[in-house]
Amino acid sequence: MLNFLNLSQAWIAAEAPVAIVVLPLIIGALCALINKERIAWLLVLLTTLICSALSFVILREVMASGTISYGLGGWDPPLGIEYRVDGLNAPVLMLISVIGVICTLYALRSVTAEIEPKKRGPFYGAFMISFAGLLGMVVTGDAFNVFVFLEVSSISTYVLVAMGASRDRRALTAAYNYLILGSIGATFFVIGVGFLYMQTGTLNMADIALALSESGESRVTQVAFAFIVVGLGLKLAMFPLHLWLPGAYAYAPSFVTAFLAATATKAALYLLLRFVFTIFDPTADFIISALTWLLAVLGVIGMFFASFQAIFQTDARRLLAFSSVAQVGYMLLGVGIGTMAGVTAGYVHLLGHAMTKGALFLCLGAMWYQFGVTRISDFKGLGKTMPWTMGAFTVAGISLIGVPGTVGFVSKFALLTAAADKGWWWAVAAIVFTSILALVYIGRMLEAAWLQDRPQVDGVDVATREAPASMLVAMWALAIACVVFGVNATWPLELANDAASVIMGGAG
């Protein structure tokens, strides 16, 4: 029996990198054909749970034994497509999978309220395809396969955003804008991959890196780098390539917004790290210049611009959407610092922001579900009418600000330390000042919710009406994670340090 269990465990570990992508693709097609909403939801929940279990198996295997390589179709890399998992992408696989479980729990009531009955099966099918595309982007070791999964995820996401038209017709415009800019980004990316293929004659990312290290810097390599960074910058919502994000986040179904905010930009940032540091030579002069004068500078400008934009928003979801652009700036600053400490800090912020912003958008969705809350003025008295929901929102909000005891503080302190170690005092000042701006725009909502009286109808206070249990479980799971990993940040810091070691040339 023990031998059977060991054999089963070894088989799962060996097949997990491909199973984690194939399973949701199959279930997505199945859900699209199912008319029963509850059956489709159960299939999605089961699939995300299995993918989460597989992601933990993969992460444990990587931490214990190092890089996992899986060759598809019996063709060994670099001739065939390779799925390759190491310390850089294993945590992102786990993040996407776990967020998928949490958001699916939330979807039980949210999707019923926001999506037309006849569209709910296809909606879950589109979500599964998007979920599989994100996992595929992260797990594949083939540059062209990245493009394929990028498009698989993006096209299904455009559909998901457009389905928000049942709640707000502006979702159609937002989806169209997302489609246009997303297509431009994908085109830039695949052109860059084409230049890399022209230079190296291979599409395997590890093989490309080896060929580039042997051939040295060339004009073709520089052009490829420029196209790839711009393409991924659009997907990442890097300032000033972020124009698709506020509308997509504001008008998509609540479940979709929370999932995208916690995963999509994080997968794109992973790809940026993978290409900049492990495929191109990060010691090359043009890469060093790009890190400092492109990624770091645009990151800081984005932090200021988006934070000021957030302060003057009247719609709560647009406020948090602009906040996401600012948080991407923090991550890019960490990458731009270009040191082990800087990359570690940026990676920790990636993990922490997924928990924080996911919780905030889940809370906003629950507020709309019960009271139709969309504007900041609607927050009046919510601390009394929805105390548990507003409590989770408050915890996530103070994490976004960077209050000690939250995961937001851990990542911002790491960024401050990395910037100070490099002598970038202007970056230190930017982090502190934009954190104060975050206090202003989050504080506006908290003040209205907790310090103002609850609204009245016909002279009578609106009664307390909490979100359904499935919504509360989802939002509090992420809110508690913000505190747990803020009080004891050993695990996220260890994961981030391992990821940084992979791309900075250390063991990983």
115-134 residue pLDDT tens: 888 888 888 999 999 999 99
Residue 27 CB contacts under 8 Å (≥ 6 apart), including other chains: 43, 44, 47, 128
The 10s digit of each residue's pLDDT in 83-100 is 999 889 999 999 999 999
| 315 vs 229: CA distance, rounded Å | 31
Q: How many domains does the chain have?
A: 1
* Residue among 491, 497, 505, 467 nearest 56 (CA): 491
Residue 284 lies in a domain: no
Residue 246 lies in a domain: no
Return phi, psi of residue 448, to 5°.
-65, -40
Least confident of 126-140, 209-223, 392-406: 209-223
* Residue among 147, 184, 110, 178 nearest 363 (CA): 110
Verify cis geometry, omega within 30 degrees of 0, for the bond prior to 78: yes
Residue 402 lies in a domain: yes
Residue 142 lies in a domain: no
Residue 421 lies in a domain: yes
Largest CA distance in the chain: 77
**Computed from CA positions of residues 42, 48, 54, 56, in that sequence, does the dihedral angle turn out positive or negative?**
negative
Place of tokens 């979100």: 467
pLDDT at 105 over 70: yes
**pLDDT number for residue 462:** 61
Residue 450 lies in a domain: yes
| 482 vs 506: CA distance, rounded Å | 29
Residue 458 lies in a domain: yes
pLDDT at 292 over 60: yes
Asked if residue 379 lies in contact with residue 300, where contact means CB atoms within 8 angstroms, the answer is no
What residues make up the domain containing 455?
299-508
Using the 8-state DSSP alphabet, how is residue 456 labeled?
A: E
Single-letter residue type at 4: F
pLDDT at 3 over 70: no
Residue 95 lies in a domain: no
